[in-house]
Amino acid sequence: MSRSPSMKISRVGLFGLLAPSIAIYTFIMIVPLILSLYYSLTDWTGGPVKNFIGLDNYKLLVKDSLFWHSFKNNIIILALTLVIQMGLAFLLTTLFMSKALRLKEFHRTVIFFPVVLSAVVVGFVWQMIYSHDYGVLNALLKAVGLDSLIRPWLDDPKIVIYAVTLPLIWQYLGVPLMIFISAVQGISKDIYETSELDGCTGFKKAVYITFPLIYDTIKVVMMLSISSNMLVFSHIYVMTGGGPGTSSMVLAQYAYKTSFGSMQLGYGSAVTIGMFILSFGIILLFKRLAEVKN
């Protein structure tokens, strides 16, 4: 069966439309990844000479306690984000789909607005909120008589990683919320009406009707959250710089510090490749667990 000229033209046109995006993605993502892999096999320190050293950088990486400490901080941030942010997004979705809530468009706009803000701006704002001397948080605690809860939020190694996670949860809460709302709006109203006739209302309807029907959407959103939280950098860099000490250091910041602070660009590239492998592994593990549950 011969193909019509119109089909050939449409495919050529489609390729022409996709070509710029593919070229940009290749230039921004694929090429740097390949270069990082190449540089990770060298002892490059910024000059033109790069000696090939094979897997030596990766041997050091496996024994690097600071690398694994940074990875642990990423895992803490990831776990808190998945539990709190996804949980809040699902609860808010249930609330937005109910008839009790008024001014839904206004509330959605307010929740989504932080998403469009710069991560650097959000970092500076929350740095002022957390300030021990003039911060809004400690001032509020003092005003309501909870002086015992006042803390140097960004200077205490025991709590700083939890403090820097809250701005991430707050800023990007609107993303899963909008996706969940869109998924719920695609569910037939007849299903909800039938469930209500059977006495399945309120929280039961959210657990037994809404959650199973948007489960695939939730999995996709959680995988996107995993990939983005493993690359978190700007918020923490602005608020703490990884401190105090290395208590809030994350993988992306460790790679940046190693590459441009110590000018160990070869080893820094190995850190980025290690970060990519760990992120990819976590996504695969989550995907496998989600499929088993399903």
What is the tens place of the pLDDT at every residue in 104-139?
Answer: 788 888 999 999 999 999 999 999 999 988 889 999
pLDDT tens, residue by residue, 8-28? 557 777 777 888 888 998 998
Q: Which CATH class is domain 40-293?
A: mainly alpha
Contact 108, 177 (CB under 8 A): yes
Percent of the chain predicted with pLDDT > 70: 95
Is the pLDDT at 29 greater than 90, yes or no? no
What's the distance, CA 121 to chain centroid?
A: 17
Average pLDDT over every residue of 181-209? 81
pLDDT tens, residue by residue, 134-165? 889 999 999 998 888 889 999 999 999 999 99
- The confidence score (pLDDT) of residue 8 equals 53
Non-local (6+) Cβ contacts of 19 within 8 A are none
Place 1 in a pLDDT band, splitting at 50, 70 and 90. very low
Higher-pLDDT residue of 286 and 198 is 286
Is the pLDDT at 4 greater than 80, yes or no? no
pLDDT tens, residue by residue, 61-109? 999 999 999 999 999 999 999 999 999 999 998 888 877 777 878 888 8
Place 197 in a pLDDT band, splitting at 50, 70 and 90. confident
d(CA 201, CA 100): 13
